[in-house]
Structure 1
Amino acid sequence: MSTEFVAYIDESGDEGFTFRDDGSGSSRWLVLSALVMRRVNDPKVVETAREARELLRKPPRFPLHFRDLKHEQRVALARLIGQMPSRTVSVLIHKPSIPEQEHFQQEAYSLYRYASRLLLERVSWLCRDHRRDAGEVELIFSNRSAMSYDALRGYLVQLRQEAERRDVRIEWPLINPDKVRAVNHDQLAGLQLADAVATSVYYAVTPNLYGDIEDRYFRLVGPTIYCHERRAEGYGLKFWVTDRTVVARLLAALNAA
């Protein structure tokens, strides 16, 4: 089947569960984000990355890593992404909110795979809402060298086989496990922009050393967030957190953008 959409996927945060009182140890949040667009608009990804490098005065093939940029450079990059003909979907998991953390500690990358399931459900809804042809979504993950993407494809095949029993809500005509691939971050502009989206969201929920969060980047990429009937929560933003004030604050920031 033909490919109508492409989704670039990257994460911010880690999968560890070592939380120390002083704030050190594992990240409290794991954010997985997808930058989604029609295949015909894919050249805009390269164009935006090139424009960003020129604006930031970086060499032509300089790999963009959002964390490594200065604040004013992040602002400029986030603004460019917010103007793209694309949509974004993010899954935000507050790991201390998970009631049975040991479930995700027994097998490596199980939390990442579960986050991928939640992400791909929403990516498939987005593409279902906007499809023109009967094409599928190409899923391009930022390569995590120690993780098996054959195992991820196998996980998706299992979800498809057990979809009804496990309440899996992926639109399978759009998501084909065979169209999952992993590419190194520095090889594709789309992955570098997906990294910027994921890290922008991460900074909007993760306090720095002084207890402050930075949501300006999030607000700048806000125009790309997938909304269904004007609703972002549960669609372009999927939360797993017990503290609803975090959700309210982020939605308020989005509405004010």
Structure 2
Amino acid sequence: MKNFVAYIDEAGDEGFGKLAGESSGQSNWFSIGAAIVDEANDKLLPSWRDEVMKKFANRKNRDLHFRELNHDQRVHACSTIASKSVGGCVVSSCKVTILDAQEIEIFKRPQHLYNYLTRFLLERVTAACRQKAAAQGARASLRVVFSRRKGTDYEKMREYLEFMRDGKEKMTPVRSIDWSVLDPANIAVENHKVRAGLQIADLFTSAIWKALEPNGYGNCEDRYARILEPRLIKLGGRTLNCGLTTIPSYSKCPLNDEQKAFLDWVIDQRKKARN
């Protein structure tokens, strides 16, 4: 048995009140992402986090939090983690596309969008773990650790996973979480500041979110995501819709020039890898 751990964090918010853009408000994008390691590398996560933190002056604690870092520190943090044996997977929802959807009232319910994106995330993570283990002639087992967030009921999350596992959905999904890899009972919730894995998951998730979420001037910052892209999980060498998934899909997303340039660059990495 090959054992893996996925640490899960989020960036942005779930709200649909006043979406941001070039003025203050709730974020246009909401992202959920994971840092994935095998059992051996799980033990190394604190040392990887400390390797990042030791370069920062006047840092008395070991709590690595993306939003508290300046640009240069973010570049350093992402560059350091990009050199490690860790996989990343991020699912990002363009919330403006939900505003006119028939299901908008459902998505406004507390935790609904969070659970929905988590499903997409775990579909991809369990598939990657199964594939990695199979390459070594083994079966995969995944433990999931969520970053504790206010207002989230993780018992409901577990029930949601069990509901899907037991085939009680009205519509058969296109993809499915690999239940041979994940047991819904095998999830935990921890505080961000006490788990290095959650802090590294924050880097992956926030880096992708920054590449898609316009700031107060309408600009996106994709440098952090470009640095971490080699660590995003791949399917047939393809990152998009595997290590990086947008909802709706790339072809249906209303993208500005910077967002499109970033996603086109991600797609282009597969072509370069083939040559």
Same fold (TM over 0.5): yes
> Alpha-carbon deviation of 1:244?
5.8
% identical equivalent positions: 32
Q: How far apart, in 1, do the equivalents of 2:162 and 2:2 lie?
A: 19
**1:149 corresponds to 2:149:** no
The amino acid that maps onto 1:116 is T
Alpha-carbon spacing, 1:58–1:134, altered in 2? closer, same or farther (3 Å): farther
The amino acid that maps onto 2:253 is D
Q: Which has the higher mean CA deviation after the structures are superposed, 4-13 or 123-132?
A: 123-132
- Figure out how many residues of one structure are paired with residues of the other and give that number: 255
Alignment-derived partner of residue 253 in structure 1: 265
Provide the secondary structure at the position in 1 that maps to 2:53: helix
Provide the secondary structure at the position in 2 that maps to 1:227: coil
Q: Which has the higher mean CA deviation after the structures are superposed, 11-20 or 161-170?
A: 161-170
Alignment-derived partner of residue 171 in structure 1: 178
Alignment-derived partner of residue 85 in structure 1: 85
Please provide the CA RMSD for this pair.
2.1
> Alpha-carbon deviation of 1:237?
1.1
> Alpha-carbon deviation of 1:166?
3.0
Alpha-carbon spacing, 1:161–1:178, altered in 2? closer, same or farther (3 Å): same
| Contact map agreement 1:5 1:127 (CA 8 A) in 2 | yes
> Alpha-carbon deviation of 1:45?
1.3
Provide the secondary structure at the position in 1 that maps to 2:55: helix
> Alpha-carbon deviation of 1:134?
2.4
5 Å-filtered alignment, 1:120-199, equals: 120-131=122-133, 132=136, 133-162=138-167, 165-167=171-173, 168-199=175-206
Structure 1 gap segments, 5+ residues each: none
Q: How far apart, in 2, do the equivalents of 1:225 and 1:11 lie?
A: 16
The amino acid that maps onto 2:202 is D
The amino acid that maps onto 1:78 is C
Q: Deviations over 1:16-55 (max 9, x none)?
A: 0013575322111000000111111112311110101111
The amino acid that maps onto 2:264 is A
> Alpha-carbon deviation of 1:58?
5.1
> Alpha-carbon deviation of 1:139?
0.1
Alignment-derived partner of residue 253 in structure 2: 243
Provide the secondary structure at the position in 1 that maps to 2:44: helix
Structure 2 gap segments, 5+ residues each: none
> Alpha-carbon deviation of 1:61?
3.6
Q: TM-score, normalised by structure 1?
A: 0.92
Q: How far apart, in 2, do the equivalents of 1:3 and 1:154 lie?
A: 26
Q: Which has the higher mean CA deviation after the structures are superposed, 137-146 or 58-67?
A: 58-67
Q: How far apart, in 1, do the equivalents of 2:58 and 2:161 lie?
A: 38
| Contact map agreement 1:33 1:89 (CA 8 A) in 2 | yes
